[in-house]
């Protein structure tokens, strides 16, 4: 599937952009399914409306989402009185984190044999699909995702996690496209996000500073584009202050031969083991 040039580019830069990977029809089907999940979501089932102990309960909502399908609000979704600023469907930050295992439409989109080929070509011998996220980057309130490396969240020894980012509509600087640091995957892992029972925290691993806009490049891509990137590659996306959304779908995949840290926040039990393609 991938040419030698593409493989070399991935090794050199830490990322690879593949245009027109998904068809308009595949994208429309996924978008419709995401809209239906949001439509069915009852916000009162989560704690964001309760003022008591909000941090703990929202952590629980996140921590228990690794084998579920849950909707998360944008941070700026609510006004000072706790009311949504805009309609529910324009207030959701993301859906996570196991649609690829629980929902047939997401399963089909994620376990596309062509994607399996790309994953193999990038050197992942025994893929394990740990996480799916549907990211809305809503118009006006789409939140920033600060500089990070995905290996912070999916630590394996050695590092194997690779991100697969599907543009579900055009992404550019105005609506909060991805920014990456070409070659930055050769730097050290800076942070680890670790779980201890019901608590999570961030550990500093290396003091290496994050890139600046002088070394980062924006990945302005059309809908249908697939961006593959090393879990060690620093990347971020700016807030979306435009009137256009920036939907994207992501998968995080590790290689089964590398040891998956028991301290990672996302673990799977025997009733729903992590799977490949
Ligand atoms: Fe990321």
Give the pLDDT of residue 54.
Answer: 47
Q: Which residues contact 247 (CB under 8 A, 6 or more apart)?
A: 31, 34, 134, 135, 136, 137, 168, 169
Check pLDDT > 70 for residue 45: no
Domain assignment present for residue 187? The answer is yes
Q: Over the stretch 58-114, which tens digit does the pLDDT of each residue have?
A: 678 889 999 999 999 888 888 888 788 889 999 999 999 999 999 999 999 999 999
Check pLDDT > 80 for residue 31: yes
Give 43 Cα–ligand 1 centroid separation in angstroms: 26
Give 229 Cα–ligand 1 centroid separation in angstroms: 9
Give 177 Cα–ligand 1 centroid separation in angstroms: 12
Check pLDDT > 70 for residue 177: yes
Domain assignment present for residue 272? The answer is no
CB neighbour burial string for 86-120, b if at least 16 within 10 angstroms, e if fewer: eeeebbbbbbbbbbbbebebbbebbbbeebbebbe
Give 22 Cα–ligand 1 centroid separation in angstroms: 20
Domain assignment present for residue 271? The answer is no
Q: What is the extent of the structural domain holding 65?
A: 4-260
Give 54 Cα–ligand 1 centroid separation in angstroms: 25
Give the pLDDT of residue 157.
Answer: 97
Give 135 Cα–ligand 1 centroid separation in angstroms: 11
Q: Which residues contact 74 (CB under 8 A, 6 or more apart)?
A: 91, 92, 93, 136, 138, 141, 142, 143
Give 81 Cα–ligand 1 centroid separation in angstroms: 31
Please, are residues 257 and 263 in contact by the beta-carbon 8 Å criterion? no
Number of domains in the chain: 1
Domain assignment present for residue 269? The answer is no
Give the pLDDT of residue 158.
Answer: 97
What is the rounded average pLDDT of the residues 9-30? 98
Domain assignment present for residue 215? The answer is yes
Give 199 Cα–ligand 1 centroid separation in angstroms: 21
What is the rounded average pLDDT of the residues 19-36? 98
Three-state SS at 74: coil
Q: Which residues, by Cβ under 5 Å, contact ligand 1, an ion?
A: 150
Give 236 Cα–ligand 1 centroid separation in angstroms: 7
Domain assignment present for residue 276? The answer is no
Q: What H or E segment, with its residue span, contains residue 15?
A: strand 15-18
- Residue 254's CB: how many other CB atoms inside 10 A? 26
Domain assignment present for residue 83? The answer is yes
**Mean confidence (pLDDT) of the chain:** 93
| pTM of the predicted model as reported, rounded to 2 decimal places | 0.95
Q: Over the stretch 185-231, which tens digit does the pLDDT of each residue have?
A: 999 999 999 999 988 899 999 999 999 989 999 999 999 999 999 99
Between 142 and 8, the higher pLDDT residue: 8
Check pLDDT > 70 for residue 57: no
Give the domain CATH number at 53.
2.60.120.620
Give 148 Cα–ligand 1 centroid separation in angstroms: 6
Range list of H helices, the chain = 4-13, 24-40, 54-63, 99-102, 104-110, 113-121
Computed from CA positions of residues 230, 176, 144, 32, in that sequence, does the dihedral angle turn out positive or negative?
A: negative
Domain assignment present for residue 267? The answer is no
Give 220 Cα–ligand 1 centroid separation in angstroms: 16
Q: Over the stretch 114-134, which tens digit does the pLDDT of each residue have?
A: 999 999 999 999 999 999 999
């Amino acid at each position: 599937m991938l040419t030698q040039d593409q493989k070399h580019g991935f090794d050199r830069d830490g990322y690879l952009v593949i245009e027109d990977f998904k068809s308009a029809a595949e994208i429309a089907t996924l978008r419709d399914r995401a809209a239906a999940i949001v439509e069915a979501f009852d916000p009162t089932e989560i704690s964001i409306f309760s003022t008591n102990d909000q941090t703990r309960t929202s952590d629980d909502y996140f921590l228990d989402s690794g084998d579920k399908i849950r909707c998360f609000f944008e941070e700026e979704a609510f006004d000072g009185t706790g009311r949504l600023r805009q309609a529910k469907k324009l207030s959701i930050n993301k859906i996570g984190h196991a649609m690829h295992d629980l929902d047939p439409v997401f399963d089909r989109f994620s376990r596309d044999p062509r994607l399996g080929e790309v994953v193999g070509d990038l050197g992942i011998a025994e893929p394990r699909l740990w996480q799916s996220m549907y990211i809305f980057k809503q118009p006006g309130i789409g939140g920033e995702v600060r500089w990070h490396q995905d290996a912070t969240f999916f630590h394996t020894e050695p590092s194997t996690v690779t991100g697969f980012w599907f543009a579900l509509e055009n992404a550019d600087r105005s609506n909060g496209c991805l920014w990456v640091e070409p070659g930055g995957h050769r730097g050290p892992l800076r942070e680890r996000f670790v779980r201890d029972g019901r608590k999570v925290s961030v550990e500093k691993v290396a003091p290496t500073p994050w890139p600046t806009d002088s070394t980062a490049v924006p990945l302005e891509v059309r809908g249908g584009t697939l961006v593959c990137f090393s879990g060690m590659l620093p990347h971020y996306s700016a807030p979306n202050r435009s009137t256009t959304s920036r939907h994207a779908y992501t998968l995080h995949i590790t290689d089964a031969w590398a040891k998956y840290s028991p301290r990672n926040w996302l673990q799977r039990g025997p009733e729903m083991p992590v799977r490949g393609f």
